[in-house]
Amino acid sequence: MLYSTERLNDLPAALDDTLLALADPTRRAILRQLALGEARVTDLAAPFAMSLNAVSKHIRLLERAGLVRRRKAGREHLLSFDPTPMDDAQAWMHAQRAFWATRLQAIDDLLVAEDESPKGTPP
């Protein structure tokens, strides 16, 4: 997926939220569960040895990052996984990799040219 330079420039604030959300193993486990389909908060909390309130805090952080969407069905709150922020983070990382690969290649080319030039003559 290609992203415009403008969109990549706007990404770092959202990128911080995404990477923060993905940095915790509990939140990654919640996302793995949601990758299987919608779930209620209580279903997501069941495998963890922590309070429902603690799991809810993890879920709120995932929601803030845009990785989790919530919908109400009657009195139930159903959560689902949205991979879009991960796609955006991947695009940003790809752009960074390309940028630095180009820069490092330019440095390498300059060093090779310097080694090949006669002594005392700039490349």
Between residues 103 and 117, which one has the greater pLDDT? 103
CA distance readout (Å), 75 to 39, 71, 105? 14, 10, 58
pLDDT digits (tens, 9 = 90+) for 70-83: 999 999 999 999 99
Average pLDDT, the chain: 87
pTM of the model: 0.72
* Residue reference for tokens 């090949």: 116
Q: Which domains can be identified in the chain, with CATH numbers?
A: 5-116 (1.10.10.10)
CB 78 within 8 A of CB 39: yes
pLDDT of the residue at 123:
55
